Amino acid sequence: MLSRKTKYGFKALSFLARREDNEPVQIEVISKAENISQKFLESILLTLKKAGYLGAKKGKGGGYYLLEKSRNTPIAAFYRVLEGPIAMVPCVSLNFYEKCEDCPDEDLCSVHNLMIQVRDNTLSIMENTSLSDFVKNQLT
């Protein structure tokens, strides 16, 4: 299941993408518009900024804004920053690979092979959807 962190992050990104101008928006505005706890959202936006997807401006008239490149960044990238691996088991993760200590042979493991299929399908969606798709389809 998706954590609230990721869900809120997606909604905040979607909110910022819907504004054509990339003017800074205060955390408070986003949190009220999307019904998100302000302090929690604060830490989420900071994470996205540190990851290089958002810009921020301090002081009056400040806030967070979408960096231009983020409009066409696949959702998969945001997901990895907020939630972690897209794969359901570390042994099929492309970006966070880890061997299972209990499994002698990955190629013969039923779970491994099933989860590769799931990963590939999920990836194909998340790599081919961007914030601009959300805007295009009027999604909030």
Partner DNA sequence: TATTATCCTATCGATTTAGTAGAGTTTGCA
Partner DNA sequence: TGCAAACTCTACTAAATCGATAGGATAATA
Residues that bind a second copy (CB under 8 A): 1-2, 7, 10-11, 14, 34-36, 75, 84-85, 87-90, 101-103, 105, 108-111, 113-115, 117-118, 121-122, 124-126, 129, 134, 137-140
- Interacting partner of 72 out of a second copy, DNA, none (Cβ under 5 to 8 A depending on kind): none
| 50 part of the interface to DNA, by CB under 7 A | yes
Alpha carbon 100 to its chain centroid, in Å, reads: 26
Strand boundaries in the chain, DSSP class E: 54-57, 63-66
- Distance from CA of residue 116 to its chain's centroid? 21
Q: Which of 10, 15, 53, 64 binds DNA (CB under 7 A)?
A: 64
Token pair recorded at residue 118: 């799931």
Distance CA 103, CA 121 (A): 24
Q: Residue 33's binding partner, choosing from DNA, a second copy, none, with beta-carbon cut-off 5 to 8 A by kind?
A: none
Q: Which residue has the tokens 């399908």?
A: 121
Per rule CB under 7 A, is residue 37 in the interface with DNA? yes
The verdict on 5 binding DNA (CB under 7 A) reads yes
Q: Which residues bind DNA (CB under 7 A)?
A: 3-5, 8, 24-28, 36-40, 42-43, 45-46, 49-50, 56-64
